[in-house]
Amino acid sequence: MQSILDAINEWIKEILIGAINGNLSTMFGDVNEKVGTIAAEVGQTPQGWNANIFSMIQTLSENVIVPIAGLVITYVLCYELISMVTEKNNMHDVDTSMFFKWVFKAFVAVYLVTHTFDITMAVFDMAQHVVSGAAGVIGGSTEIDVAAALASMQDGLDAMEIPELLLLVMETSLVSLCMKIMSVLITVILYGRMIEIYLYCSVSPIPFATMTNREWGQIGNNYLKSLFAIGFQGFLIMICVGIYAVLVNNMIIADNLHSAIFSLAAYTVILCFSLFKSGALAKSIFSAH
């Protein structure tokens, strides 16, 4: 009779351990997959992420926004010319060099507006280079060996009794669900960032039209700072994910499985919070607002 009970006990334990291993394998696999996905998504330029959207934004910008930018340039240059004249005692102290300066400013303003997309894409190409370099380091150093991780836990799982295994099944199932939710949140953050980039690109000629004027130039300067901020936000996202993967790797070798599972849940929450804050942090670094 005792042997039958022992056999049933072992059978139940095998089922529970199998469920735990399945949950853990899914969680660690999700970490590896998400690190790779983020590296691929964040490293994309606007034209590489979705060529159709980029083409639409470029067409709208050139056909709708550039004419408005031309009006802005006209207003800014007229305002600056009037200011130059009135500052020189109503043309009593005229210096012909100031007109050459004005013509040069006009040329630069027109050049910036007509080459807005080239300048904007150059910013994101530079950001992509930085993110791609970081992805190579982070992705290569944080890959979790799922098989080795599970093998290191088997002795601890075999030593547990059924009640503790049941608790661990519930814990791993809950954390696995959190990982799925985290994946959705990360996707929202990545897609939201790219949509924000497209919105920035769509109106870029207008702020560039103001950059040559002293009073209005802060609009263009702040816009350029925002471009750098949103570009380098991808680098901050990669750092967050790299830190997360390293913490998870350290968690795998923990002796207390219950503590390790809750640590993973805490790391997941911290990662989501950090990703949401990455945009604000990038803007604060570049003094963009």
Residue 196 has pLDDT above 60, yes or no: yes
Confidence class for position 255, pLDDT limits 50, 70, 90:
low
- Residue whose pair of structure tokens reads 């130059």 in the numeric block: 84
User: The tokens of 131 are what?
Assistant: 């993110």
CA 257, CA 270: separation in Å to the nearest integer?
Answer: 20
Read off the pLDDT of residues 209-229 as tens digits, 9 standing for 90 and up. 888 777 777 888 888 888 889
Tell me the Cα Rg of the chain: 28
- How buried is 208 (Cβ within 10 angstroms: 0-12 exposed, 13-18 middle, 19+ buried)? buried
Q: Is the sign of the CA dihedral 209, 211, 217, 222 positive or negative? A: positive
Q: Among 14-23, 24-33, 85-94, name the one with the lowest average pLDDT.
A: 85-94
Secondary structure (3-state) at 212:
coil
CA angle 284, 287, 289 (to 5 degrees): 85
CA 195, CA 28: separation in Å to the nearest integer?
Answer: 30
CB atoms within 10 A of CB 260: 21
Residue 70 has pLDDT above 70, yes or no: yes
Would you say residue 79 lies in a domain?
no
Average pLDDT for 242-252: 74
Would you say residue 137 lies in a domain?
yes
Confidence class for position 148, pLDDT limits 50, 70, 90:
low
Residue 43 phi/psi, 5-degree rounding, is: -80, 0
Confidence class for position 123, pLDDT limits 50, 70, 90:
confident
pLDDT recorded at residue 169: 78
Would you say residue 95 lies in a domain?
no
Nearest to 259 by CA among 183, 178, 175: 175
Looking at the 3D structure of the chain, how many domains does it have?
Answer: 1
The parent domain of residue 227 ranges over 2-63+115-285
Q: Is the pTM of this model over 0.85?
A: no
User: The tokens of 250 are what?
Assistant: 């350290």
Secondary structure (3-state) at 214:
coil
Instruction: Write down how long the chain is.
Output: 289
pLDDT recorded at residue 158: 65
Residue 75 phi/psi, 5-degree rounding, is: -65, -45
Would you say residue 101 lies in a domain?
no
Would you say residue 80 lies in a domain?
no
Average pLDDT for 164-189: 80
Residue 111 has pLDDT above 70, yes or no: yes
Confidence class for position 80, pLDDT limits 50, 70, 90:
confident
